[in-house]
Structure 1
Amino acid sequence: MAIYLFAISIVFTMFVARRKKIRVLSPYGIFIVFQVLYNLMPWVVASSGVTSTLLSLLSETRFIDIQLVLSAIANMCFGLVYLFFYRPVPFSEPPRTISPNARKNYLLCAFPLFLVLCLLCHQYGWHQLTHAGIETGEAIESLGGMFTVTAYFKFFFVSVYLYYLYRFGLDKGAWILLSEHVLVLIIDGARATFVPVFLVTLFILIDKISNPRKLKAIYILALGGFLLSMLTRALVFENSSLLQGVVVPVTVEGTMGDYSSLQSIQGMEQLPNPHYTLGANYLLDPIFWLVPRAIGREGLLFFDRWTAGLAPILSDRFAPMGGFYYVSEAVAAFSYVGPPIVTLLFAFSLIWVDQHKNMYRILYFAWMPTIGLMFVKVPFANGFKLFLVQFLGMCLLKAMGRYKIVLPRKPMTSIASPRREVLP
């Protein structure tokens, strides 16, 4: 019964997408894809009769059915918000009054950063970090400060690309910078920074296209980008085939990422007095997440208190294989009504940011690749931290341009000759 209710909710979201002319390559479509992935994979595993001593909840059909029902209600809420409040707002082009040398100078300044990042990722990238964690069994945080430096340098280089989109738009220079991010992806092996900015690029590109043939080309480009991001994992793990490199990440993401929500549902069902966060994990945890781990961040986070309270009933540690699904945090906040409430707020925020993307462009480019697209699969506090890093990075670049460190402050019209202005 639960799977049929979930299927009906997906059909409803598809109806809304058709009614409001929302494409698959959109924040709306990405959310629905994640919803299908994180709910369908556990149901398939449970229905197949496969059992696991490590992941015992994947055979607990009762908890899986509860999640299906909660996600179905969340889907209905998400679709209803878009049905009544969404209206398409196309991207506006940035001002064309910037000196042509500014684009060239910006790309030249970004290239040394790209080279440094390649060296860092080769020595301290995701593939090195993962192999170190597998071989030594140590926590990622204990592997050395250079891994953290590399991660933040990678975030800043994402800001470099996003600021280019903000200032110059999607032109040849933007594709050059995105190509550099592709090379970083291949060297580093992590998808978490590349896929969101790749999707935002496609959002901008698809907004300019009306020819159906060109739309098909964009979807083929999107498929190619996703396959590339998958194949980088196969290159990192040398003992896996290319087919495994594509299929395994999807199945693992759908089952391991979802597992944390099943554990929160188990706690909601079996704990005698669950200590719900009542929304503090969304309001206060983003602030506490900025506190360095070395000085006791875990003791401040409300969601960590919730996961610690689950210990007496869990047969294994919380999220034993990593991964995350937002239903886990929503349940921790407001019990059964958590997923509908949180999804409603998320849908309204998606619409507001999308409809004001031309008014608050830096906000959009910082918010969409982080909270906007990663909300479903990362804890909210972590997503907010990523948003803040991207936002501050772009603000720094804007300040550098204002003081003529990277970009000239005066527009092209102030330096171009009248004869050149009238030429086609």
Structure 2
Amino acid sequence: MTHTHQLLRGLAERHPGMRLAVTQTGAAEPGAAVSLLTPEGVQADLRYIATRFPQLQGPSGAKDKLLVRRWYEERIDDPGNPVWRSLAEQYAKVIRDAGIADLLLQNINPITGVLKAQEMGLLGDVRLTGVVHDAVDAEHRFRYLARRMSEDTAGLTLIAVSESVRQTLLSAGVPASRVRTVHNGLDLGNFEARLRHAREAEVFGRVRDRNWLYSGSRIVLVSARRVPWKGHEDVIRAAARLKERGVLEDTIVVMNGAGLVDSRCPGYEAELARLITKLGLSGRVVLLDALSPEEVASCYAAAHVAVHPSREPEPFGYANIEAMLAGVPVIAAGHGGPLEYIDDEISGLLVPPGSPVAIAAALERVLNDDALHDRLARAGRASAERFTLDAMVDGYEAVLTAAAASPVAEGAGAR
């Protein structure tokens, strides 16, 4: 979501007359196009893609992760797969209805859905650029992309948001000539303005009061969607170790991301709350309530250290970049995107994934060593400042311009 808004901001500034149509997944039924004004001030046609398939639902009515994997992954090559058939038909329809010649497909399912539409004869030739953000649990879909691209049956160029994602695609067999790394970027000026406002208006005070945080405590921030692979449980168990050692006397671990859950794991937030209580950490580890955008910024402004220990390789890690820009030292799992902007012991600390012991040790170092804290904060900010919005938009424009120079069938296309 952050990437999409940042990219729209940059493209809208450079191309104010841009015509845009966007799709949104998650609906129960496809809907008619509606007019949308994006937060970046761009007028767009919004079209819904239904993804609440009965084939994915367990007895409770929630998505079952095993069923999701079966239909999206394991049976991707089944010509009778109703999930991919429906997605292909829906994407083909909105592409035809939108009448825009270029497609920028955000992530693996839209990319695969459009390729399936071509494979089923529902679309003619179109100009396709796909952006791959996530590389978790997508090996079958990546191999499908590789096969289609190697056969050269789809005029598709891929953008990977980090070199880590690019290497995963190459490992799946995607031709190296067809995938380019364009790192995610951020409007640094806008983000810094949000931080200044948060500090000057003491916005974090609202968060502290609503969530009953002890006044004056140092803040350890975990800024992530509340999904299991983000490693919240590892931080909670690390906090239990620190409490035993007396390190949390003046420190609170706060976790934002309320409501940002995976429909395949609907009970995850409740599981975290139970673990916090079980380990005697109530009041010391706090699941924050829903935050406004300015309150999210205030968490970075108030944090003493940030932890982002994803168990699976993080594709990029906007939360790390935002914390580093705010002058907050970052402790991150040593795989995936963070390896491209965190040098261990220089611009942050890297820990093995899934290791509460290592997280606790790293936190104790940063909390007890002011010189280390300040050194990591300075070098981290310098590293994060490389990932600008202009650099990201330059990369996208180069790829999209090359795609626009290729032929396209008359009447095909959408965005």
**Shorter chain as normaliser: what TM range?**
under 0.3
| Structure that is richer in strand per residue | 2
Higher share of residues assigned helix: 1
Q: TM-score, normalised by structure 1?
A: 0.26
Q: Which has the higher contact order (CA 8 A, sep 6+)?
A: 1
